[in-house]
Structure 1
Amino acid sequence: MAASLFPFEFIVRETPRSVQASSKSLQRWKERLREAAKRRVEELVEQSWLDQRPLALTIYYFPSAPMDGDVDNIIKPILDALVAVVYPDDRLIERVVAQKFEPALEWSFSQPSEMLEAALMTTDDVVYVRVDDDLAWRRI
């Protein structure tokens, strides 16, 4: 039996594209996300599977300058890009947390994972993505 992928984390050192971006730019962004996720899957396990478990998605965007546009517009392209790589259908995502952390604001993480720490150490635009099958949030 293959090991579980979850929690699954990766980063992309690039400015995310919005749903309002040109179709060509949006396609390139989705492909960049898919490739980053595929590389991470290959690093973590030799075999994996895509099942029907409910999932949660966390997206943190760390722009190098104040963000132009709305943070909610970067969610859908990320959800779509991970289909057939991290999950079989984005309908399995029950919860999405998205946040931007602009450089002028003060913030900190008490115990960042290794992957989140890598994002925090990047000075360029970076997007951190985490997909998790922990449903503890259902008891909020």
Structure 2
Amino acid sequence: MIFEFLISKRPVSLQTKNRTNLQAWKNFVYAEAAKTWTGTLNTTKDTHITLVYLCDEDPVDADNIIKPIQDALVGLIYADDLLVTDVECHRRPLKGATDITQWPALLIKAIALGDECVYVRISKAKPLENYL
């Protein structure tokens, strides 16, 4: 299973004091994923999430965008976020020298749009030794 989608909006930090804004962000993430998700609810462990946050100046901390996105996908992609065993998150500037030749097409599209966004890819986790 590989599923990818784009959240075409600046992410909201888990640390925000505005809890209403955080819930609105989670709802937005869910809606964006639901636009293209055609799979069934994953109920098995070993799920890997990759996030790439393309940012402008004054970015959100990368570690603070993981949990809201992960939580937003519960009930659509997977039954519980406990099923997520591997997470990687990358933050890169929208502007600057970047070799995009090996990037996925959706991520190339995102950088071409020029707005802050988060690329999300969900796949089956590999054995731990493949990451070490």
Bin for the TM-score computed over the shorter chain: 0.7 to 0.9
Q: Which runs of 5+ in 2 are unaligned?
A: none
> Shift of residue 113 of structure 1?
2.1
> Shift of residue 48 of structure 1?
2.4
Kept after mapping to 2: 8 A contact 1:16/1:74 = yes
Aligned to 1:50: 42
Aligned to 1:61: 53
Structure 1 segments, 4+ long, off by >4 Å, are none
Go from structure 1 to structure 2 and tell me whether the alpha carbon gap of 1:132 and 1:123 turns closer, same or farther (over 3 Å shift).
same
* RMSD value, Cα: 1.8
Aligned to 1:20: 15
What SS class does the counterpart of residue 120 from structure 1 fall into?
Answer: helix
Kept after mapping to 1: 8 A contact 2:43/2:79 = yes
Q: Decide which structure has greater strand share.
A: 2
Correspondence 1:99 to 2:71: no
Amino acid at match of 1:26: L
How far apart, in 2, do the equivalents of 1:49 and 1:14 lie? 25
Aligned to 1:3: none
How far apart, in 1, do the equivalents of 2:125 and 2:61 lie? 28
Amino acid at match of 1:54: D
What SS class does the counterpart of residue 26 from structure 1 fall into?
Answer: helix
- The 5 A counterparts of 1:114-129 are 114-129=105-120
Amino acid at match of 1:61: Y
Deviations 1:69-118 (A, max 9, x none): 42111111001001111111111111111111113543223322222222
Kept after mapping to 2: 8 A contact 1:67/1:102 = no
User: Identity across aligned pairs (percent)?
Assistant: 29
What SS class does the counterpart of residue 75 from structure 2 fall into?
Answer: coil
Go from structure 1 to structure 2 and tell me whether the alpha carbon gap of 1:123 and 1:89 turns closer, same or farther (over 3 Å shift).
same
Go from structure 1 to structure 2 and tell me whether the alpha carbon gap of 1:116 and 1:103 turns closer, same or farther (over 3 Å shift).
closer
